[in-house]
Amino acid sequence: MNKESWQGIFPALVTPFKSDDTIDFELFRNNLEAQIEAGVTGAIVAGSLGEASTLTRSEKVELVKFTKGFVPENFPVVLCIAEQSTNEAVSIAREAESIGADGLMVLPPMRYKADDRETVMYFKTIAENTALPLMIYNNPVDYKIEVTLDMFEELAAVPNIHAIKESTRDVSNVTRIFNRFGDRFKVFCGVDTLIMEEVMLGADGVVGGLVDAFPKETVAIFNLVKAGFYKEALRIYRWYLPLLELDIHPKLVQNIKLAAAKTGIGSEYVRAPRLLLEGAEREKVLTIIDQAIETQPALPDYLNLTSLA
């Protein structure tokens, strides 16, 4: 996977489960097929949305192998690394490389709030122990560690750190990164509600959540904005926003899995300690999803935008 492969829509794939708590690979394949048909350009497995914290290492390996066996040639499959120890992170990175993963999305150390020096060393050590390219996931809102521009200055010296998942929720940070580093890093929007704004500011791609339920709309917004069809993109984005807000919630996994179930490419089952939504909470989310499905906009030919020129 070269640096130029980091572009477009990379769904943070949910991990569908059966009622017996095992992974539903048939449903996983159905969802992945819908993503590819919609025009996504890569996929991330076993991320936060994929319930990485409840997956075993062997399950993560199974997901990578299954995905690689299904996707087209040269379609990037990226494994998320979210570990407590550097040694375990390095071990998983090496195994990911050995089974054919194309890249890694790396979170800061889990549970321990590392300082700047420790965080940089953690990322560097992983990168130096694999030939795979890395995306650094910068999400201080949820993970309490911010990767600052000065830290990225140090990380820029590591050749296989290719990309940044920008999830600070400060859209200005996209411009700060480009102003400081030019095209050194590929920048991905990592917050669903900001996809249009950050792509307009030059983001190279999106790591999306609601794309798991509505893949075509997500790719359409990205392609339309990149082609300069802002009015057409805005029409879809305004329809989409209530759904996208389901991503910026502590129960984003349950919310997005419910949406994927309603669109026929997922199931509601989650792995404990998560529980299924119920009662008024579930009804509130269902109202948003059902309203969106009822008013789903007609999409232009977003995979062939010359027709709109």
CATH numbers and ranges of domains, the chain = 3-308 (3.20.20.70)
| Mean pLDDT of the chain, nearest integer | 97
pLDDT > 70 fraction of the chain, expressed in percent and rounded: 99
Per-residue model confidence as pLDDT tens digits over 129-148: 999 999 999 999 999 999 99
Is 120 within 8 Å of 154 (Cβ atoms)? Answer: yes
Helices 279-294 and 230-244: crossing angle in degrees, nearest 10, is 160
- pLDDT tens digits, 27-43: 999 999 999 999 999 99
pLDDT in the model for residue 111: 86
Q: Phi first, then psi: what are they for 172, rounded to 5°?
A: -65, -25
Q: What is the pLDDT of residue 309?
A: 58
Give the span between the Cα atoms of 16 and 257, in whole angstroms: 8
What's the pTM value of the predicted model, to 2 decimals? 0.96
